[in-house]
Chains A and B, each alone.
Chain A
Amino acid sequence: MGDLGDKKGIGNLDSPKMPYDYSRREYGTVARDTKRAPFQWVSEVAYKNVHRIVARGYDTTELMEEGYGVVDVLFVDYQARIPLVEEEQMLNYVMIMALEDGLSMPAAMSRMVAQSKTFLTQACGASILAFGHAYGAYSAFGNRLERYLKMAEEQQLSLDEAAERLVRENRSDEALGVSSLMLEDPAAKRMIARAEKLGVAGRSIAFTKKIVQAAQRLFDEPVDLDMLGATGASMLDLGFSPEAAWAIMAVTRSFAAGAHYIEEVERGECRRLGQTLTPKAYYDGPEDRPVPPLKDRDNHARAAVCKTPEAWKKRFEKMQSVYGSGFRIVEEIADPSKKSGIKTVGKL
C-alpha cells in the first residue's frame, strides 16, 4: 500500500466540468500556522490552574467558604456579579418552581432513555433536549419581550400599545407567556407577587403584566399569565439573558429528570430492540401493497427531478400530503455567527 501512482481515471474526477485538476491535489496534513497565535481555550467565564478554580475573578472555593452557594454562582457565571440577597432568594424561588413538572416531556424523555439501560447522565442530558421554542421556551419568550420593549422605546409606544401589538402579532405562539394553562393554579401570579415583594421586579415583569391584560382583552377564551411568562419575566428582571434563562431552567429541571430516571429503573423494566409494537390502528399511511420486482423498478419509480418551477411547485404541494416528508414544515435556521469572533485575542 502507500502507492500513489496514476491518479487519473477515477470516476468523474477527470471531467472537463471540474474547475480544477483533482489528481494534482496534495495529500498530507496542513502545517502548523506560526503566523497566528496557537490555539487556546478562550474564556471570559472561568479559568483554573493546578491550585485554584476561578470564575469571573472569584476563587470558587473561597466563595463557598465565605457562605455563598450554588445559586449565587449562577449570577457569578452568567452575570459576573454577586447577587443581592433578594435576588438570590428570588432565584431560589424560581428554581424550586422549575424543578418538577410531573410526567411532562423532560421526565418522559428521561424515563424513555432509562428504559434502554443507560447511564443516568444520558437520561438527564436527554431531558434537556425537550426545551425548545414551545416547551420551556425561555429564549423565544425573552427575546420577543426584549424586542418589543426596544420597539416601544424606538417608536415611543406606551407599554400598553407595545403589549397589544405583541399579542396581536404573536397570539398563536406557544411562547407568549399567556395561555389557558394556569386559570386555576395561582403559582405563576404568586411568583410575580414574590418578585415584587422582594423588590426585584423590573420592566420585564411590568411589561408582561401589560401583555396579560392585552391578551385578556383580545382573546375570546379566558387566559392568564402562565409559568413560562412568570418565570421568563422574573429571570429577565434578575438580569439573566433569555438564553441564560433557557439554560438555567432546563438544567434545573434536569435534576428532577434524574429522579425520574431512578424511579423508572427502580420500578420499570428495560425495553429491547423490536419489543415495541405500533398497532395498525395508529397508522394512516398508504394501504399495504406488494413490493414490485427489482427488474421492474423503472416501470414503477417516478423521479423527483422537476424541470420547471411550475413542476417543482406542483410536486412540493403534492408532497405536503405526505406526512413525515418534511414539506409541511417551513422554518428559518439562523446563522448568528456573522458578527461574532474574538478579534482582540491571540494576536502575536
Chain B
Amino acid sequence: MQREPEIKRKTALSYKTEKKTVLRGYNLSELAEEGYSFCDALFVLFQDRLPTTNEEKMLKYEMGVFLEHSMSPSAVAAIGVSAGRPNLPCAVAASITTFGGVHGPGAAHGYMLNKYIERARREGKSLDEMAKILVDEYLDAKKPVMGMGQPQHIDSDPRAEPIHVKQEELALDGVYLEFQRAVEKHFHARRKKEGRSYVGVNVVGSGNTALSEIGFSPNAAWCLGSVCRGFSCAAHALYNMKKGRAWGASRNEPMVQMIDLSMIKYIGPEDRTVPKQAQRQAYARKQKEEGEYEKWVI
C-alpha cells in the first residue's frame, strides 16, 4: 500500500508515522487522553500553543454560538446543492465556500482591526482616536464599517453583545476589544448625529474581536468561523436529503417547492424569434450596432 504523502512539503504543522500522528509536537492521542478539548487542539493547530482555561472557554463559546444560523447563504447553498442528491460532502463544501466578502467576512474584519491598531501605534494616537478615524474614513467613503449591521437581526444580533460581555467576564479584554468598542461608540454617535437609525454590532464584529484577542490571525479566525458553520449546514443538507424532496420542484408536495416553475420571475429581453442562419450575419450586425443588448450584459 502506497503511503507516501500526496504532495511533498516542508510543514511546521504536523507529521505522521506508522506509530503516531503529531501536531506541533504533541502526540494527538496524548492530547486527547489528557482531557484537552477540541478547542484546545485548535489553539495548538493555529497558534502552536495550549490556551489558558479562559481562552479555551472563549473559543468554545464563540464557535458554539456561531455554529448554527438557520437560513443564511451558507445553509441555503448546502440545501441547494443537496437537491441534486450528490454525496453529502459536496453540500458541506458549498456551504463553506459561501463565506466571502459579505457573508461572515472574518478575515476582512481582522485585517481592518490590525491595520488601524498599527496606525494608532505608528501615528501616536489613542485607540479611541483611531477608532473615530476609522469610522469617519469608512463612512465618508460610503463604505460599510465591517462588523456592524446584520440583514436579518436588524435590532442587534443576538450573538454579538453577549460575546463582548463574555469576553469581559473572562478577563480577555485587550486592545482588540477596546478598539472594537470604540469603533462601535463612534459609529453609533455618527449615525445618531446624522439622524440615522441604530445599527448594532454583528457576530463578526464581536466574535472576530474575541478571536483576535485570543491570538488568532485574521485568516485563522475566518477558518474557525466559516468551517464551524459547515457543521450546521451539513445538518440542514442532511435533513433535506433524508426528509425533503429531491430536485425541489415536485408538484406533488403540498407546499410550492424551492425551484417550482412559478418561482421564476423573468425580467430579461422579450421573447423573440431565433434568426435563420441565412440571416445571421445581418441580424447580428444590426443587433451589435443598435447596442440595446448592452444593458443586459453582465
- The complex places the Cα of A348 from the Cα of B244 at a distance, in Å, of 19
Is A30 an interface residue when CB atoms closer than 8 A count as contact? yes
Say yes or no for B196: interface residue by CB 8 A criterion: no
Asked if B53 is at the interface (CB within 8 A of a chain A CB), the reply is no
State whether A122 and B97 are in contact (beta carbons under 8 Å apart), knowing that A96-B31, A102-B14 are contacts in the complex.
yes
* Contact of B37 with A248 in the complex, beta carbons under 8 Å: no
**B21 is contacted by which of A43, A77, A102, A250 (Cβ under 8 Å)?**
A102
Q: B227 contacts the other chain (Cβ, under 8 Å)?
A: yes
Does B64 lie within 8 Å of A128, measured CB to CB?
no
Interface string of B241-276 (1 = CB under 8 A from A): 111111100101111111011111110011111101
Interface size class on chain A is 35 or more
State the CA gap A45–B49 with chains docked (Å). 35
- Interface presence of B129 (CB below 8 A): no
CB < 8 Å neighbour of B29 from A1, A31, A48, A97: A97
Contact A125 B5 (CB under 8 A): no
Q: A22 CB to closest chain B CB, in angstroms?
A: 12
Q: What's the least CB distance linking B86 to chain A, in Å?
A: 9
The reply to whether the CB of A61 lies closer than 8 angstroms to some CB of chain B is yes
Q: Does A244 contact B (CB under 8 A)?
A: yes
Interface check A282, CB cutoff 8 A: no
Does B179 sit at the interface, judged by CB under 8 A?
Answer: no
Bound CA–CA A32/B262 (angstroms) = 5
How far does the Cβ of B192 sit from chain A's closest Cβ, in whole Å? Answer: 21
A119 surroundings in chain B (CB, below 8 A): 97, 99-100
- How far apart are B129's CB and chain A's nearest CB, in angstroms? 32
A157 within 8 A of B: no
Minimum CB–CB distance for B181 against chain A, Å: 19
Q: Which residue of A lies closest to B292 (CB)?
A: A1
Question: How far is it, in angstroms, between the C-alpha of A93 and the C-alpha of B30 when the chains are bound?
Answer: 10
> Which B residues touch A344, using CB under 8 A?
254
A186 vs B76: C-alpha distance when bound (angstroms):
41
Q: Which residues 122-176 of B sit at the A interface, judged by CB distance below 8 A? A: 152-156, 158-159, 162, 166
Q: Which of B111-119, B182-190, B217-225 contacts A (4 or more CB under 8 A)?
A: B217-225
Q: Point out the residue from B89, B219, B226, B242 that lies within 8 Å of A132, measured CB to CB.
A: B89
What distance in Å separates the Cβ of B149 from its nearest Cβ neighbour in chain A? 13
Task: Give residues of chain B (1-32) contacting chain A, Cβ–Cβ below 8 Å.
Answer: 1, 5-21, 23, 28-29, 31-32
A23 vs chain B, min Cβ distance (A): 10
Contact between chains at B71 and A45 (CB < 8 Å):
no
A3 x B273 contact (CB < 8 A): yes
User: A45, B232: Cβ atoms under 8 Å?
Assistant: yes
Out of A36, A104, A185, A191, which one reaches B256, CB within 8 Å? A36
Which A residues lie within 8 Å of B94 (CB)?
A: 125
Distance of A252 Cα from B232 Cα, bound (Å): 12
- B18–A335 CB distance below 8 A: no
Task: Determine whether the beta carbon of A244 is less than 8 Å from that of B235.
Answer: yes
Say yes or no: is A312 at the interface (Cβ < 8 Å to chain B). Answer: no
Q: Are B152 and A48 in contact (CB under 8 A)?
A: yes
Instruction: State whether A342 and B244 are in contact (beta carbons under 8 Å apart), knowing that A51-B153, A61-B159, A259-B45 are contacts in the complex.
Output: yes
B interface footprint on A59-101 (CB within 8 Å = 1, 0 otherwise): 1110111001111111011100000000001011101110111
Whether B39 pairs with A70 at a CB distance below 8 angstroms is yes
Is the C-beta of B38 less than 8 angstroms from some C-beta in chain A? Answer: yes
Tell yes or no: B199 within 8 A of A by CB: no
CB < 8 Å neighbour of B254 from A50, A100, A347: A347
A-B contact pairs, 19 of them (CB 8 A): A31-B262, A39-B260, A46-B68, A50-B152, A60-B64, A64-B162, A78-B235, A91-B38, A96-B41, A120-B226, A121-B226, A126-B93, A128-B230, A132-B89, A185-B21, A244-B238, A247-B89, A251-B92, A346-B255
Q: Kindly list 16 other residue pairs between chains A and B, CB separation below 8 angstroms, not including A258-B223, A336-B85.
A: A4-B271, A45-B232, A45-B236, A46-B68, A50-B153, A51-B155, A74-B67, A89-B35, A97-B32, A119-B99, A120-B222, A243-B241, A250-B234, A340-B241, A345-B255, A347-B255
Binding site for A on B (CB under 8 A): 1, 5-21, 23, 28-29, 31-33, 35-42, 45-46, 59-61, 63-65, 67-71, 76, 79, 85, 87-90, 92-100, 107, 152-156, 158-159, 162, 166, 217, 219-220, 222-224, 226-228, 230-232, 234-239, 241-247, 250, 252-258, 260-266, 269-274, 276, 287, 292
